Amino acid sequence: MSVVEPVAHALAARLLPLLDLTSLGEDDTPARIEAMCTRALGSGLPAAVCIYPEHITTARRALGDSAVKIATVVNFPDGGSDAQRVERETRRALAAGADEIDLVLPWAALQGGDPGCARAVVLAARTACGNTHCLKLILETGQLTPAQIHAASELGIQAGVDFLKTSTGKVAVNATVEAATIMLEVIAAHGGRCGFKAAGGIRSLADAALYLDLARDRLGDEWVTPGHFRIGASALYDALLPLLARPA
């Protein structure tokens, strides 16, 4: 065994319970979602699976009474500005069995100088989630300037979201270290009560380690738990499992 293998095994073990195993393909089928959930149960539990709302019932049946949460997306991927529609969409997802909501911020409204519209959408989802369901806010950072990422992070925390999330994975630029740094610094400035989720293009152990280190440096290793830190990915799961299968 090489010197680096124990380090890689330990890092993979650290990351697995922080993972939101994600499938948001336009051609996802119930069979595909069921197979993903079954694999997760047999290969090492992630924090959650993240899927489209139409697959919540399938995932709930496949996951049974396991500890894996079901996350779904609303206002996705475009980030519309209709607060009433977002509230209805969120309530339907929760009624279907979702545990967590990943909401796309109306980032274009924020860009256009209408933060009030963006805030109304976030508050509508927060109202629907109440105090019992986790709300993650997708900023779509690849479409925003650094100043706008900072403003969006402040908006989300002030509206009471549980996590700030980088990206939908549906645009040209998704998670970046630069965007994550801004978001984590805003989170730290607010005492670390809001969590952080990196998503979009994170495929390798090295990719994931960058975000893990950013969070540790700003908020401490003890902060990095599934309640505060997630990585949304599918290819990353495939990269972690072979490392975990080797002896530590």
Instruction: Give me the active site residues, please.
Output: 102, 165, 197
State the Cα–Cα distance between residues 220 and 70, nearest whole angstrom.
Answer: 27
Rounded to whole angstroms, the Cα distance separating 202 from 1 reads: 26
Question: Helices 56-63 & 30-43, crossing angle to 10 degrees?
Answer: 30
Which position has the token pair 């670390």?
192
Question: Between β-strands 48-51 and 163-165, what pairing exists: parallel, antiparallel or unpaired?
Answer: unpaired
DSSP class of 231: E
Structure tokens at 91: 């309530």
CA gap 50, 73 in Å, rounded:
8
CA distance 152 to 7: 36
- What is the sign of the dihedral through the CA atoms of 61, 97, 233 and 10? negative
Q: What is the rounded CA–CA span in Å between residue 27 and residue 177? A: 30
Sign of CA dihedral 89, 66, 198, 175: negative
